[in-house]
Amino acid sequence: MRVLLVDDHPVVRAGLRALLSGQADIELVGEAASGEEAVRLSGLRTPDLVLMDLQLGEGMDGVDTTREILAGPTPPRVLVLTTYDADADILRAVEAGATGYLLKDADPDDLVRAIRSAASGETVLAPHVASRLLTRMRTPAPPLSGREIEILVLVAEGLSNRDIAKRLFISEATVKSHLVHVFGKLEVDSRTAAIAQARRRGLIR
């Protein structure tokens, strides 16, 4: 199977390269340090699977890159490999179409098995991630949508409603409407309280 590696840290790429080079059935067809480069190489090298980090420095992040790659005519599978396990990260990646979500503390043998499984179309989730998703599904509280969490993350970064609207290409009224829903679901009445509650629940980092 043909694998494209996407990570902005050279040391991480070197370690993954060494791991994959020892597998007779895996061919590493390229490496990218940015989302833009990943999209370009995915089109040129036609991998079967893209091993995708979430944080890629400046420019597109791993979720946006996943969405772009999967929008192609014959897209590969995308397996997220990251250090982040907040609900916001997991939900955005899954909604973007990622086949699996693993954490970088995974055992090397487990990672190789996951790559093979994901390349064949199976859903692959780290045990902790699967547990988080199950807990979220079973919780009696109304879950926040991916867009609501995305807006809450930007609120936590200190952006105003106007800035959020510009970032997401939506109207300020839409931002306000989403925040009203967020406040109701989290049972809070302010932006500060919403951020604190979301962090306690593990919804955002």
Provide the 10 A C-beta neighbour count for residue 163: 15
> What is the CATH class of 146-200?
mainly alpha
Quote the pLDDT of residue 12: 94
Quote the pLDDT of residue 22: 87
Q: Where are the domains of the chain?
A: 2-136, 146-200
Token look-up 């009203």 returns: 180
The answer to whether residues 68 and 35 touch, using CB atoms and an 8 Å cutoff, is yes
- The angle formed by the CA atoms of residues 173, 176 and 178, to the nearest 5 degrees, is 110
- Please indicate whether the domains covering 2-136 and 146-200 agree at the CATH topology level: no
The answer to whether residues 69 and 76 touch, using CB atoms and an 8 Å cutoff, is yes
- The angle formed by the CA atoms of residues 86, 12 and 77, to the nearest 5 degrees, is 65
pTM of the entire predicted model? 0.69
Q: Can you give the pLDDT of all 205 residues of the chain as single tens digits?
A: 999 999 999 999 999 999 999 899 999 999 999 999 999 999 999 999 999 999 888 888 999 999 999 998 889 999 999 988 777 788 888 888 999 999 999 999 999 999 999 999 899 998 878 877 776 666 656 678 889 999 999 999 999 999 999 999 999 999 999 999 999 888 888 899 899 988 888 888 7
- The angle formed by the CA atoms of residues 77, 81 and 87, to the nearest 5 degrees, is 100
Architecture in CATH for domain 2-136: 3-Layer(aba) Sandwich (3.40)
